[in-house]
Amino acid sequence: MLIRSIHSLIAGTLLIAASLPLAAQDKAPAGASALETVRHRGSLIMLCFPHQESTFIRVNTERGPMKHDGTAADFEGVDVDIMAGFAKSLGVDLEVRPALGDNGMPSYTAVFVSLDKGEGDLIASSLTITEARKERVDFSIPYHTVRPLIVVREDSDIAGVGDLAGKTAAVLKGSSQEEHLRRLGFDDAHFAYQEFTLENYDAVLSGRADLTLVDSDSAYSFLDKTMGLKIAFAIPDSDESYGFALPKGSDLLGPLDAYLEQLEASGELARIKARYLSPPPPGAP
């Protein structure tokens, strides 16, 4: 199956990357602010979850095996383009660093742990702004809105929230999708945790899960390539805003917000999105 073959490629290169040491960094003077550190280093370090098929941040497989420390050319997507422009506005390069857990695989938990450890300057990874996350990090102004959608097999009779009781959902651990489903009554016993978004779809297709919850952009761009799946419904009153996450008190926040405002006012933000995002199909929620 295509999903499994792509997963094997990415998983293998991730495991190789996990064994590589992090690039050495010049240390900024003691007491330097985040902005001063970035300029002293000469690069902005963007932490991310390296999705396989995300329109916001994904491995550029045409460049070959994934590097643990990559450039903007090693990855592609809306977030990469925005961050590359922001880095340029600061007069530095962009370094993209996938965050890996102790098992050598990516996770949203690992992304936040890496930020806490100072291994990157910010998180850019189609990251939903949630109240729980705002207690841990500072968020930029929102730059995109999506709608969480329930995706099921084509023969499924799931059609609304009332049909979810007792069902098993495939999700990424630590994701906003997991948060949504917990609010709908799901617990650990009814989650089939996956390591990549594509595995969520695979779990539903194979019957290992009854459903998955994905953002509307992911669903619109991927489901037309996958037979056997359909959008069941949108979670009511649950539209999400994406933002970039920074350590509490980071002085990069002001310049980043100003850059995002300029990007939107100039129309460049809309042009970046148009390069990657698929329009909703007719009748889509």
Q: Which pLDDT does position 107 carry in this prediction?
A: 74
- Work out the pLDDT band at 61, boundaries 50, 70, 90: low
For residue 168 the two structure tokens come to 């098993």
Distance CA 26, CA 257 (A): 27
Residues of the chain with CATH 3.40.190.10: 2-19+30-143+241-276, 148-238
CATH superfamily membership of 148-238: Periplasmic binding protein-like II (3.40.190.10)
Higher confidence at residue 113 or residue 1? 113
CB atoms within 10 A of CB 76: 22
Whether 76 contacts 83, CB under 8 Å: no
Total length of the chain: 285
From 176, 229, 174, 172, select the one nearest 197 (Cα to Cα).
Answer: 172
Highest-confidence range of 24-28, 65-69, 174-178, 256-260, by mean pLDDT? 256-260
- Which whole-number Å values give the CA distances from 186 to 79, 193, 229, in the listed order? 30, 13, 21
Look at domain 2-19+30-143+241-276 and name its CATH class: alpha beta
Confidence of residue 68 (pLDDT cuts 50, 70, 90): low
How many CA atoms within 13 Å lie on the side-chain side of 18? 16
Task: Indicate the pLDDT class of residue 5, thresholds 50, 70 and 90.
Answer: very low
- Angle 41-46-50 from CA coordinates, rounded to 5°: 140
- For the segment 231-265, what is each residue's pLDDT rounded down to a tens digit? 999 988 888 999 999 999 999 999 999 999 999 99
Question: Whole-number mean pLDDT of the chain?
Answer: 84
How far does CA 7 lie from the centroid of its chain?
A: 16
Share of the chain above pLDDT 70, in %: 85
Tens-place pLDDT, residues 87-116: 999 999 999 998 877 777 767 888 999 999
The Cβ of residue 139 has, within 10 Å, a number of other Cβ atoms equal to 22
> Can you count the helices (H) and strands (E) in the chain?
10, 15
